[in-house]
Chains A and B, each alone.
Chain A
Amino acid sequence: MVDASTRQKLFGTPETNFLNCSKGWKSWAFTLDHKRIGIMYLIGVTVALFLAGVFALVLRSHLFTFDSKMLSDDMYNQMFTLHGAVMVFSFIIPSIPAALGNIVLPMMLGAKDVAFPRMNLASFYLWIIGTGCLLAAILSGKGLDTGWTFYTPYSIDTNTGVIYATFGAFILGFSSIFTGLNFLVTVNTMRAKNQGWFKLPLFVWSLYATAIIQVLATPVLGITLLMLIAEKTLHIGIFDPKYGGDPVLFQHFFWFYSHPAVYIMILPAMGVISELISVYSQKRIFGYSFIAFSSVAIALLGFLVWGHHMFTSGQSLVVTLIFSAITFTVAIPSAVKVFNWLATLYKGSILLNTPMCYALSFIFLFGIGGLTGLFLGALSTDIHLHDTYFVVAHFHFVMVGGTLTALLGGVFHWWPKIWGRMYNDFLGRVGCFLVFSGFNLTFFPQFVMGSRGMPRRYASYDPEFQIFHQLSTVGAFVLGLGILLSFVVLVYSALRGPRCSSNPFRAASLEWQSSSPPDFHNFIHTPVLTDPYDFESQVYDEELDTYIPREFANPAKVAPRKEPVHN
């Protein structure tokens, strides 16, 4: 119990915070503060999202009619390659861990910063350099037309800017390794006193599992891309069949990274959703340890299924069968999570605000995305569906419907914490509705087209598919509008939104014990260790209009616990 003035100091609106404690561009460019680095990352990935999003809209516009002449075939190839490469390497992989995770993770541990702040900043600058190299492929006038997968032998033979792009992806890989390594160490050594592994928020578990993949898989991509560069410049004959090399080996190497990489994309998203579902249902997360371990299980199983991308590339039947079987097992931990979220919602007191709307969209869209993965993992159906729009729809359901949706939900959730200002919830929900409906309109027709044989990566198509493409194009613009609206809502609120309190939604994880915006050192006091899903540990304080830990509240005004303390 502390007096009212201390409470004011700890949980009221702070005069100095991490945003205004130092000024000038240098205080940002050379900052070692994880929150500022996270914000810079957030700006960076947003730029990448918009850039690659514009490429996508150009592609979709081109596809509006079956005999469109808007783009030349070459231009079309370059457009979809850059769209994919920028989205995957520059946007989606760093999005949740490096931007949101950076801001939130140390605070969830009650720490002042990540373990290696300089490495954190280096990671951001590597991101800039890597993205610059990717884009250099366009700026050099050469373009890039291999698809984001850089498959050999075409990538060796083409004259486009493969070297720039692969070098960029190589650098981005190191940026990602730096983030992952930092997070692993941070979670291991920087946890609050007595904060055991099972008192960590599930977002931390998911970031930890992600970091394992980042550290274990990304170096393999690094060496693969270096070998590709060596192949292209020196013709070393490892991948190039002209010199006795094996082009399928490249596919193995590439997917050995890139399949685990899809879990780099989705696991943090699942972590965000676990937080949102629980907080906005005000209910203890159902099956904590199942969700926690399913993250780790996904991370580990994810290393054993890369061959499902190569069912038609000429693998032996035995290997193919094994990969198919393991692919099916990955669905189990994914489903474990979905069922746990649903069970958490059951009888919760649900607040349908913007982040929660995104969280519910996630469950629906990820469900479809994950289940269609099983059609692709089944051998007989995959022979038919491979390299069709069905695959395109599948991975967009998981990557956009899953990761982007969770990113938006998470950003809305932590936005008041970061800026100390509240967003306009109505417009936020309108944005969410547009994203959800636009998304479905864009990608659902692609399942239909794909299953009817419309191949991916083609600039023109049979007239019978035109109606589906047109629906898809319209949907893409609606989706774009939704994202744009959310962006405007967020930026406006950060600058002009009404002030908000330290913990407006009664969340119990430690980051909500800091003021909004947080202090430069995150916490003025050492936070009281609470169970992140024990919402009764937070009680309402009238003077400050916020939720604060029981320990700090005025005992005279505190209602007794309804739920017994778990421990």
Chain B
Amino acid sequence: MAVADSHDTHDDHHDLYDHGEFIAHHFDSAEQQFDSGKLGIWLFLVTEILFFSGLFVAYTLYRTNHPEVFEQAHVFLNKYLGGLNTIVLLFSSLTMALGVRAAQLGRNKNCSIYILITMVCATMFLGVKAVEYSHKWDMGILVRSAFNLTYTHPTPTTEIGKALHISDYLVYLCVVPALLLAGFLVASVISKLIDKGTLAKFMIAMAITVSGYFLGVCIGIIFMNATEGETGSTHASVIAEQPLMLMASTQDDHAEDDHDDGHDHDDHDKAAADSNHEGEHADHEEHFGAHPADGGEASFDAHHPDPSTLSRDVGIFFSIYYCMTGLHAIHIIAGIIALAWLYWRSLLGHWRTDYFGPVDYVGLYWHLVDLIWIYLFPLLYLID
């Protein structure tokens, strides 16, 4: 309901209110209800932060105990993709804030548009993340126990993978979104046919939302190719024949930096190796033994003469990476569901200058999810 034309219908609203359309029976006033919701959501955010805190503590501990490993490991993360996602999320925070503003003014139409943009950003984020994940899985960059860096990209075996030159894992990661997209499109047509206009609109918006994922995947692949050149996942067939350059092309500058304090690391590594993990090193030699040499990767070789160290602890870095970003992604998905609900209610025109609590609450949640990413990005991608 736009503010401009709310004058004549104002009394109406009061009636609705007195009948308690949106006030639960146990609240005395709209204000009490709003205050309760607001306090509730803030407390919920506190629990969310504490939920992540365990992972942040684990991160801090391992980073203090093995600083060298974090420096070795982060080169596997593509900071351009991470940066892109940071911008996407920041932008979504802006649109979310605009959406809240629109709801506060009772402008349901504007609100719905902003929420839609926010949702598209969210799915785009996930699309880029899918490119990153699949790229790593291809190379065997997995959690600690499964970590097995191969330097090679397996040739895709799925038809789609072959046709588009993309990783099989990326294909798998697109299956559910593709089904959802198809489902929403069909649902929108059906709703149109049975004359449920609003529902059709909602379904189309959901389809647009899911398309954001594919947009994210495309942009992610383009970025990946641009920043990693020949090693990008799209050229899997090329890479299959030659060792991955460990992103040497983009990481040259780091390599120089590393050189200066390289000695430090070596000492540290040895100390660690000498203490109690000796047995394990032996276990994992097999993963690595051959690669640095035959890859002719000068920079890698020079800086990390004992590759088995990399094998052990880099795996833990990625365990933490997957736990943190995975948990964050789950929160994004939950956010999308909440946003979809808000979108639906905007279509129904529920927001009024005196009733907009849910948009406000979900908005706060969304900002928190963004904020967590703002911490994750430098902590994981921008080490050194």
Contacts and interface: CB of A to CB of B under 8 A. Distances in A.
A381 interface: no
A226 B316 CA distance: 16
* Chain B interface size range: 35 or more
A184 B53 contact: no
B175 interface: no
A111 B312 CA distance: 58
Contact of A238 (B24, B46, B319): B319
Interface stretch (A113-121, A469-477, A535-543, A545-553): A113-121
B320 interface: yes
B53 A220 contact: yes
Interface stretch (B81-89, B143-151, B154-162, B186-194): B143-151
Contact of A115 (B40, B44, B51): B40
Contact of B50 (A117, A216, A236): A216
B50 A237 contact: no
A181 B40 contact: yes
B284 to A, nearest CB: 10
A237 B315 contact: yes
Contacts of B323: 227, 230, 236, 238
A29 interface: no
Contacts of A236: 143-145, 316, 319-320, 322-323
B26 A235 contact: no
Interface string B291-333: 0000000000000000000001101100110110001000000
Interface in A244-274: 244-246, 249, 253
A237 B144 contact: yes
B26 to A, nearest CB: 4
B12 interface: no
Interface stretch (A83-91, A138-146, A185-193, A316-324): A185-193
A223 B320 CA distance: 13
B264 to A, nearest CB: 20
A254 to B, nearest CB: 11
Contacts of A243: 144-145, 280, 312, 315-316
Residue of A186, A188, A217, A223 ringed by the most chain B CB atoms within 10 A:
A223
A185 B39 contact: yes
B290 interface: no
Contacts of B46: 215-216
A219 B51 contact: yes
B199 interface: no
Nearest to B69: A244
A216 B46 CA distance: 7
* Chain A interface size range: 35 or more
Contact of A218 (B47, B280, B327): B47
B316 A190 contact: no
B6 interface: no
Interface stretch (B54-62, B93-101, B102-110, B235-243): B54-62
B47 A227 contact: no
A212 B129 CA distance: 36
Contacts of A21: none
B143 A215 contact: no
A152 to B, nearest CB: 13
B143 A237 contact: yes
B26 A117 contact: yes
Contacts of A223: 51-55
Interface string B16-55: 0000000011100000100110011001101110111111
Contacts of A253: 54, 57
Contact of B47 (A181, A186, A190): A181
Given A219-B48, A220-B54, A230-B323, A244 B312 contact: yes
B13 interface: no
Contacts of A190: 26, 32, 36
Contacts of A244: 144, 277, 280, 312-313, 315-316
A64 B55 CA distance: 45
Contacts of B277: 244
A190 B39 CA distance: 12
A116 B316 CA distance: 41
Residue of A112, A116, A189 ringed by the most chain B CB atoms within 10 A:
A189
Contacts of A432: none
A369 interface: no
A431 interface: no
Nearest to A253: B54
A199 B144 CA distance: 56
Q: Which 4 A-B pairs have the closest CB atoms?
A: A237-B144, A235-B145, A236-B319, A223-B54
Given A215-B43, A224-B54, A238-B319, 7 more contacts: A114-B26, A181-B47, A185-B39, A216-B46, A220-B53, A235-B143, A236-B322
12 contacts: A112-B25, A112-B26, A181-B40, A186-B36, A189-B36, A217-B50, A220-B54, A224-B54, A230-B319, A234-B146, A237-B144, A238-B58
